[in-house]
Amino acid sequence: MVVAITGYGAVSALGPTADAMWAAVESGKNGIAEIDRFDTSAMASTMGALVKGAALEQSSPDRALDFAVRAAREARARAGLAGGAPRVALVLGTSLGSSVVDLAQLANAVAAEIGATGPRVVVSTACSSSTHAIGIGRDLLEHGFADAVIAGGVDELSPEIFAGFCALGVVAKGRCAPFSEVLGTSLGEGAGFVVLEDDAAAEARGRMPFAFLSGYAISADAYHATSPEPSGAGVARAIRAALGDADLSKDAIDYVNAHGTGTAANDAAEFLAITTALGDGAKHPAISSSKSFLGHAQGAAGALELIATLMGMERGVVPPTMGFTRPRPRCPADPMAGVGPRPLAVGHAISLSSAFGGANASVIVSKERPTTRRAAPIPVYARGRGLVLPGMFAPSDLGPTTRMVGRAPEVSMTEVARGVDPRGLDVCTRMLAKVTVDALVSAGLSVKGSERDRIGLFAGQTRVSSAASTEFHGSIAARGLARLSASAFAKMVLNASASAVTRMLGIRGAVTALSTGASSGLSIVALASFYLARHTELDGIVVAGVHEIAASESADAAEGAAAIVLVRGPNVGTGPLVRIDVEHLGPPDSALASPPDAEIFDAASHAPNSGGFGGGLALVLACDRVNATGRAMYVTDRRGSASVGVRISAAGGREA
């Protein structure tokens, strides 16, 4: 399938629409200005790229929802997707860790407003969220679970987030100037969405695509909670893997829309990654950073920057890097510096995003229809298991009607991996680390040397660690915004735990955190299997569902974690093997046609109130059962923001 981009919409500091944004770019307007919406007097900076305009400035109950609905509606209208269009999926990238309890609720609210009738998935890897979201949109189309996808991201700049970045010392006092003298970033906000469709379907509707989505990838730095890996190796892996996915050589890329935050650490590492993966000595493709005029719109950044890239490609220009004075050492000498776009014919462009916890993402867009025919995705298998159950249960206790409740016992890190510093690890991270290690070991897989690049980790969870969240808000209450806990702030992103585990174990192939609400533990398997089926640079992906109980949670909640390893084929790892087939991925409560030859197992049966843990648990138990009986099982979940059906069968047992 060739995936076409047939629409886009943007709400940014440069205006309420994509056209307004581009008009501002052409006239050299900079969206970064004095912040007037909240008090910044005690902060390290007073500057930010806030969304302006009468309709958007009034404090509606949920600014993020407002931004997302406007941008997604614009994208949908531009694509000419009629109201009655068939299955339209929504993939929403957002950071929003500090205020939103259930990210899937936001996705459902946006979907209801814009009439998205397909599955809704939230990607929350902080500042790379929307870039990964757009890639997942491609996967949903390719696997036939949507007829069109609205994919992108949203974030608002809250005083807490602004204060958090200031505490980390990464915010420029004035306007940021990526790759130039001023060090530090400028924060922003907004929403950006693109519409993705099968090119044949777009053509049948008589729509001319703006461009084609040729490839995407994610990677993990496995380096630090907030700083990028100085060598840029993680970003370079994300670039190479996207080139592989797109079947393009490095010389094909004409333009890089860089993450380019403006911080000393990011810009130098990213430039090194670009010159390594796309360059040849001093030669490299054209590079610019749209954060120089949009600010850093966090979870929306990647989508907004891709839209700026697309709008430039349409016009034969590339967006500039504004605010450039003199080049910075170890940065490009001329990052398309100027106040307006520069003429450049771009055939293929790559947009890069990086995030807290070293979660990198990249997406490649092409002006011409890709000619290489993509092979059908390969089948995916699974082996290995890891389980952390609520304290009063052992795996042998699990009868068909067992209902689990309660907290899990504390995981001792010395038993999980040697030499791990357990300092400050929250319950969520500890459980995730244990099930990841147990799953890898029981699958006969090690993470050493170059194998580290060939393993990924996908976590399904509904929210950040509740203990970390309590610590973050507690520090604000006790010491004020300007003195909030920087270390707790770094944990206010959904991927914090998964990223901490990649650091601990040296997993560098991929890291992400996804939510579809209560079905997260099962939907993660579907999304990881799509990724593995396309990304030959990986041998396996650990898929884990996890849930840490909050103090306020009801008494029937269950805490725990569960993991299996998706593997590329029977030759990866050792031990019992099952085949994983994603049969269904639809809107919540949608009908799940069951294969006649499989026993149905509902993910809510053993731990109905347990975030991402319940789905993961059901999956592990179903794999055990299939291995024991040789008979197929169909694991289902209809809750949260998606309905999921995954068929698990004895490997090789399914003949055509």
Partner 1 sequence: MTEERRAEILGDIARREAVLDQVRTILVEKLKVERDADEIDPDVALFGTGLGLDSVDAVELLVCLETELGVRIPDSSLVRPSMRTVNTLVDLVLSHGKVSA
Q: Which residues bind partner 1 (CB under 8 A)?
A: 167-169, 224-227, 421-424, 478-479, 483, 485-487, 490
d(CA 191, CA 70): 8
- Give the nearest distance from C-beta 258 to partner 1 in angstroms: 23
d(CA 197, CA 137): 9
Using the minimum distance from each CB to partner 1, give the nearer residue, 114 or 163. Answer: 163
Q: Which residues contact 470 (CB under 8 A, 6 or more apart)?
A: 551
Using the minimum distance from each CB to partner 1, give the nearer residue, 225 or 277. Answer: 225
- Give the nearest distance from C-beta 34 to partner 1 in angstroms: 25
Q: Is 143 a catalytic residue?
A: no
For residue 579 the two structure tokens come to 């085949």
d(CA 317, CA 381): 45
As beta bridge partners, residue 49 has 188
Using the minimum distance from each CB to partner 1, give the nearer residue, 169 or 653. Answer: 169
- For residues 262-287, one letter each, b for 16 or more C-beta atoms within 10 angstroms of the residue's C-beta and e for the rest, the string is bbebbbbbbbbbbbbbbbeeeebbbb
Q: Is 296 a catalytic residue?
A: yes
d(CA 190, CA 206): 31
Using the minimum distance from each CB to partner 1, give the nearer residue, 422 or 569. Answer: 422
Q: Which DSSP string do the residues of 503-521 spell out, in sequence order?
A: HHHT--SEEEEEEBTBTHH
- Give the nearest distance from C-beta 423 to partner 1 in angstroms: 5
User: Chain centroid to CA 185: how far?
Assistant: 21
Query: In the structure, how many helices (H) and strands (E) does the chain have?
Result: 18, 24
Confirm if 581 and 638 have CB atoms less than 8 A apart: no
- Give the nearest distance from C-beta 178 to partner 1 in angstroms: 21
Q: Which of 132, 143, 284, 296 is catalytic?
A: 296
Using the minimum distance from each CB to partner 1, give the nearer residue, 182 or 468. Answer: 468
Using the minimum distance from each CB to partner 1, give the nearer residue, 344 or 482. Answer: 482
d(CA 534, CA 239): 15
**Identity of residue 166:** C
Q: Which of 132, 143, 259, 284 is catalytic?
A: 259
CA nearest 197: which of 93, 89, 301, 348? 89
Secondary structure element (H or E) that encloses residue 474, with its range:
helix 466-479
Using the minimum distance from each CB to partner 1, give the nearer residue, 265 or 592. Answer: 265
Secondary structure element (H or E) that encloses residue 584, with its range:
strand 578-586
Using the minimum distance from each CB to partner 1, give the nearer residue, 67 or 472. Answer: 472
Q: Within 13 Å and on the Cβ side, how many CA atoms surround 111?
A: 28
- Give the nearest distance from C-beta 490 to partner 1 in angstroms: 6
- Give the nearest distance from C-beta 539 to partner 1 in angstroms: 31
d(CA 276, CA 282): 10
- Give the nearest distance from C-beta 558 to partner 1 in angstroms: 26
Confirm if 549 and 466 have CB atoms less than 8 A apart: yes
For residue 211 the two structure tokens come to 């461009």
Q: Is 428 a catalytic residue?
A: no
- Give the nearest distance from C-beta 487 to partner 1 in angstroms: 5
Q: Which residues contact 393 (CB under 8 A, 6 or more apart)?
A: 402, 404
- The residues annotated with a catalytic role in the active site are 127, 259, 296
